[in-house]
Structures are given as structure tokens and as C-alpha cells.
């Protein structure tokens, strides 16, 4: 599907329910940061982009939040000059609050739970699945609020539009690249990574239509 179809389908309500959408967007990106913290504590892998950032940040000795802001800032410069139509308040919310929220929640959760190596598989799996729920629901509300894309997501549309490479294939290439680089830098790859890599596609449209859209009082959400 084209960029117009995938992102600007909500143009009809661009000025509607703005306070509700802003609050939902900020809550969504914070929930996504909490999801990253749960992934880290569970030790069974994160979504592909977080895997990249967890690996590189640990290799550079930076916090996850600090590295994610720096990396997104670099991507933002390119997006700004190539196609700034997808940028907005949600861009800044995602850039700053996902990583900083993960940095905030990680020590709190670590203080409440035993070290990852001391947990049983069921508890680690429960934490990982909780992270999946936070990330999927957070992403759903962030997307449905339609207040701007994160730079990484913008790139996912710009490259196919400029190269004619199908969107699906570009996401496969970019996700595998993120996972590969993250793994090479020491990030954990596991069941959480697989669920997010293969489950986001089918689950996100359902969450958009049946959860986020009703809460945000948005009538028209595409099937996918």
C-alpha cells in the first residue's frame, strides 16, 4: 500500500479530537518504552528496532534512551530534507519518550524482580509477552492518533517510495538488518523478537480498528 494509504488515511479527522489524540499519543509512546523495559528484564528478545538500539547503546556505553535520541536525530535530518510530510508532534514524542521511558522504568522493574538469570522460563516469558502487549497497544494508539511518525518509520515509507521496492520487502530487509546488527553488538534475540517481527503486521490493524479507534472516537480505520 502507498504511504498515503498507510499513514494519511486519517486526514479526514486531522483536526478532530485533538486533546484526546495528543494525550493518547504521549501515553502510547510511554507504554512502548515500558515494553522495552519488560523485554530487557525478560531477557528473551525485543522488537527489531529496539534490538538494534539495545545492542549499539550497550556497545557504546550509552543509555538506551540517549542512543535512541541520537540515532533518531540523524534519521530525522534525512527525513526532513527528503519528505517532511510525515513529521509532527508524534515524531518528537516517539523520538524522546520511548527511550527515556525505557531508561526510567528499567531500574524500577529491576528493583522489583529478581535478576533475569535467576528467573524461571515461565516468568521470563510472561514479562516478554507483557512487553509485546505494551508495544502493540502503544504502537496502535500512536499510529491511530496520526500526529506524526518516528523517523525510523518514515524511512520505512520513503525508501519504498523512492526505490519502488515493495514496502513489505523493505521492512523484512530493515528488520533483519536491525536484528543482525543488534545481535552482533550483544543484544538478546529470542521469542520476543520473533513475535514482534512476525506478529505486528497482523495484530496492529486489529488493535487499530477494535481498540484504538473506538477509544479515540475515530470512525474510519482501514483493514490493513
For residue 130, what is its C-alpha cell?
Answer: 507483557
DSSP state, residue 43? T
Judged against a pLDDT cut of 80, whether residue 80 lies above it is answered with yes
Check pLDDT > 70 for residue 42.
yes
Predicted local distance difference test score (pLDDT) of residue 222 = 43
Convert the pLDDT of each residue in 186-222 to its tens digit: 999 999 999 998 888 889 999 999 999 999 988 655 4
Confidence of residue 75 (pLDDT cuts 50, 70, 90): very high
pTM: 0.88
The torsion angle over the Cα atoms of residues 38, 191, 92 and 209, rounded to 10 degrees, is -100
**pLDDT score at 224:** 41
Residues in the chain: 224
Query: How confident is the model at residue 14, as a pLDDT?
Result: 57
Write down the pLDDT at residue 13. 53
Could you report the per-residue pLDDT of 139-192, keeping only the tens digit for each?
999 999 999 999 998 998 899 888 888 888 898 899 999 999 999 999 999 999
The three-class DSSP label of residue 188 is coil
pLDDT of residue 6: 44
Q: CB under 8 Å to 67, separation ≥6 — which residues?
A: 53, 56, 57, 60, 99
Burial 60-92 (b: 16+ CB within 10 A, else e): eeebbbebbbbbbeebbeebeeebeebbeebbb
Q: What is the reported pLDDT for 9?
A: 41
Residues 6+ apart with CB under 8 A from 117: 43
Compare 84 and 184 and report the one with higher pLDDT.
Answer: 184
Write out pLDDT tens, residues 94-132: 999 999 999 999 999 999 888 888 899 999 999 999 999
- Give the contacts of 198 (CB within 8 A, at least 6 positions apart): none
Q: Per 3-state DSSP, what percentage of the chain is helix, strand, and coil (rounded to 5)?
A: 80, 0, 20
Amino acid at each position: 500500500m502507498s504511504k498515503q494509504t498507510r499513514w494519511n488515511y486519517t486526514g479526514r479527522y486531522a483536526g478532530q479530537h485533538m486533546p484526546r489524540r495528543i494525550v493518547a499519543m504521549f501515553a502510547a509512546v510511554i507504554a512502548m518504552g515500558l515494553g522495552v523495559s519488560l523485554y530487557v528484564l525478560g531477557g528473551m528478545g525485543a522488537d527489531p528496532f529496539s534490538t538494534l538500539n539495545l545492542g549499539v547503546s550497550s556497545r557504546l556505553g550509552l543509555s538506551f534512551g540517549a542512543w535512541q535520541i541520537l540515532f533518531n536525530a540523524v534519521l530525522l535530518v534525512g527525513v526532513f530534507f527528503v519528505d517532511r510530510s510525515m513529521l509532527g508532534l508524534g515524531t518528537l514524542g516517539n523520538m524522546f519518550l520511548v527511550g527515556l521511558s525505557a531508561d526510567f522504568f528499567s531500574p524500577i522493574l529491576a528493583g522489583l524482580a529478581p535478576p533475569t538469570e535467576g528467573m524461571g522460563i515461565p516468568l521470563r516469558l510472561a514479562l516478554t509477552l507483557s512487553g509485546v502487549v505494551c508495544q502493540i497497544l502503544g504502537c496502535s494508539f500512536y499510529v491511530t492518533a496520526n500526529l506524526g511518525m518516528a523517523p525510523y518509520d518514515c524511512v520505512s515509507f520513503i525508501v519504498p517510495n523512492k526505490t519502488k521496492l515493495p514496502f513489505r520487502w523493505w521492512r523484512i530487509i530493515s528488520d533483519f538488518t536491525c536484528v543482525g546488527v543488534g545481535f552482533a553488538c550483544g543484544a538478546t534475540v529470542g521469542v520476543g523478537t520473533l513475535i514482534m517481527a512476525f506478529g505486528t503486521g497482523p495484530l496492529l490493524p486489529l488493535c487499530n480498528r477494535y481498540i484504538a479507534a473506538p477509544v479515540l472516537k475515530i470512525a474510519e480505520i482501514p483493514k490493513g
